A and B are shown apart, each in its own frame.
Chain A
Amino acid sequence: MSVGLANKNTSALKSWHLQTVVLNKHSNVSLTQSLLTQDQLDQAKLSKKEAVVGQTPVAAKGKNLTTVSSQFIGLNKDEYIFKNLPITRGRKPKKDTEIVVDDAFAQKGYHLGDKIKLNDTARKYKIVGWVHHNEINIAPVVYGSLKTWKKLRNVMPTVAASGIVSKRNFKPGIKGTKSYQQQTFIQKLPGYRDQNMTFMMMIVFLFVISLIIVAVFLYILTMQKLPNFAVLRAQGIPSKVLVSATIWQSLILVLSGVVLGLAGLALSAKFMPAAVPMSFSPAIWIPASLGMVIMGLIGAVLPAVKIARLNPLSGIGG
């Protein structure tokens, strides 16, 4: 889920292969808040690796359909983002009144050819194509023309775009603008940091809790067997054998837990509605599973110490 939500913030940026972004100096590193003038764009000397982008939040609504809070992205037809637009069905827009939308619209009942209003203006736009998992700021993206963006954003005639996106390290150094690296830009996406911190905390707590559970479980198990262990020690069974048996037991316990957990994960992934932002990449569950196993081993330390220190005499009694 953590990864899923983070993706919702950035999947569109990923599809643009964004490396740097040039914004208005006073935009608080936000594409939606940034405005660049035609003058500034002219000075920038754009190559094929740059694209001018206009972003603004819009409420999209088709007739008899639910409103979708989305992010409008205005593009120039002759620049790389538009050219490489990852259309999954339909086609790229040809006219200013045509748009390409994220799959999220399909889930809400929208179809190819539907006409929708953006921000309740009289003008209608026709869906001519789909993109898959293209989101920014946890909202599905609507791709259209920069001209449309200007209308939606209601900008002064001198203003030409929100920013310049580049897939290389691009620093034009134009007055009033600033160039930001991908990491800086993503961290500044509204809520991105807080959200990730929250999830990090949740994950850390989950690990701590499972550590406590495993440790307590093993401790109780060991405590119950302590008299038996003491007898075995008295009979000359080395404590090494008992300790390694306990650690193996803990490993088996945690491993079966992890396997069950992953099976549950796979199942829930299968039945989870597509609207829930979840992502199950091996990059996540492999370290998480390893982490769990390590927690299990740490949990086994206390019982192991207990056994190693066990006095064989205590098994004899009276």
Chain B
Amino acid sequence: MSVLTLTNVSKTYEHGEASVQALRNVNFSIDAGEVILIMGPSGAGKSTFLTTAGGLLSPTSGTVQVEGQEISRLSPKERDALRLHKIGFILQAYNLVPYLTISEQFKLVDHVKKEGNLSADDLQALLAQLDISNLVNKYPQELSGGQQQRAAIARALYADPAVIMADEPTASLDSERVAEVGQLFKDLAKQRQKAIILVTHDDRLTKYADHIYDMLDGRLTKRQ
């Protein structure tokens, strides 16, 4: 079943005289349990795609649906709630709140989203799977880039979202870690039935993906 669907989505950035068409008639859909890679050169529109699909940006035309709900019909508050409950962002920069320890980051989620978060046991299992169980009382800056990345993944998964979106999740990782994170995403998708969208330049991730899309000049095409 399709968790996230984009239908004929276009996005044009208007800047006075100049206008950039960052997405051109994009059609996309992802099912639970799938890992999809979005690849393309810089400026192709990958981030625009991710933020539009994640309900942070309204498309100029076309529709975005998350679990059958059309995002453009939602009020800003409902959109906040949708992001909180359904979508896990894994962002490259400022992913974790620097003045909270890793376990406090989870508590923050508990504070705003009272229900449907991972149980303590599930969280323990996830942290063990990510190999960061012993780091929960540290602050993000005390962790290595790879550890931060995995903590951010745990943070995104904690709210038990249907969709996980990651922008360049392997940018700061060496090949060994890339393989681990790639396998982790694949396992998460299969074991926890998540829909995972990875935006990346990184060819090393391709073997963990179910499908690969190429983004070029705002056009999205499925690689055969």
Contact = CB atoms under 8 A, between A and B. Distances in A.
B163 to A, nearest CB: 12
B57 interface: yes
A228 B94 contact: yes
Contacts of A231: 89, 91, 94-95, 97
A236 B80 contact: yes
A315 B94 contact: yes
B116 interface: no
Interface string A132-164: 000000000000000000000000000000000
B97 A316 contact: no
Nearest to B167: A316
Interface in A225-251: 227-228, 230-239, 241
Interface centre among A232, A236, A312, A316, by most chain B C-beta atoms within 10 angstroms, is: A236
A20 B109 CA distance: 68
Nearest to A235: B89
A228 B47 contact: no
A238 B80 contact: yes
Nearest to A311: B56
Nearest to B98: A228
Contacts of A318: 47, 92, 167-168
Contacts of A235: 83-84, 88-89, 156
Nearest to A317: B93
Contact of B83 (A228, A230, A236, A317): A236
A228 B93 contact: no
Contacts of B91: 231, 234, 315-317
Interface in B73-116: 77, 80-85, 87-89, 91-95, 97-98, 108, 111-113
A247 to B, nearest CB: 16
Contact of B87 (A230, A236, A317): A236
5 contacts: A228-B98, A232-B108, A235-B84, A236-B82, A318-B92
